[in-house]
Amino acid sequence: PAEAAQSSVEMELSVRTLNALTTEFRTHDESGTLRWVRSTMSPAREPDGSILWTGVIRDVTRERVAEGQVELLKSAIVHSADAIIIFETDPSKTPRSKVLYANPEFERLAGCTGAEIIDQGMNAFRTHDPDGSVNLRIHEALGRDQPLTLEFQGHGRDGKLNWVEGHFNVLRRFDGGVF
């Protein structure tokens, strides 16, 4: 009912202004399955004063389902009890890796906000790594596109050492490309 009322208001405005109208709404197909439909229409006033609508109607159910899944995954990451940080890695750039995202739990453990670390390189994170072996193992594993689980000590913003169980992996798009 709310969708229908909103569509009615939008259509009346489109008739008055003769501007194009794009709406999305739910409907049931012939089998009773709920579908999402996107309609884009343009009104034109005919010589007799009537309105002629031309446009396209498209089934966008798969897009809406995918958007719902993305929202679910976002929520899982934001509300995770695990600290999650996502880096973009490009060997041709310096620094090679930069932070794209850090969830609230990572912010809490590290003692900083996401805004403070977005676009920072890995060197912004201090590990207790006197001989450099932790960073070397991480870079080697990711360079070979192999997952790595590693326990090490990292410094929080307050300088305190924390034990970290890190899981490192290269994320790939569905087409196989690297994010």
Peptide bond into 104 cis (omega under 30): no
pLDDT in the model for residue 97: 75
The model carries a pTM of 0.64
pLDDT in the model for residue 95: 61
Q: How far is CA 53 from the centre of its chain?
A: 36
Half-sphere exposure of 10 (CA within 13 A, CB side): 16
C-alpha–C-alpha distance, residues 105 and 119, integer Å: 18
Q: Which structure tokens are listed for 19?
A: 């501007």
pLDDT in the model for residue 126: 67
pLDDT in the model for residue 123: 67
User: Under 8 Å CB-to-CB from 117, ≥6 apart: which residues?
Assistant: 99, 102, 110, 124
Mean pLDDT by 10 residues, the chain (179 residues): 78 92 93 95 95 96 96 95 83 73 88 85 72 83 84 81 84 71
Give the full edge-to-edge strand order of the sheet including 21-28: 21-28, 34-45, 51-59
C-alpha–C-alpha distance, residues 172 and 143, integer Å: 14
Name the residue among 151, 157, 156, 88 with its Cα closest to residue 122. 88
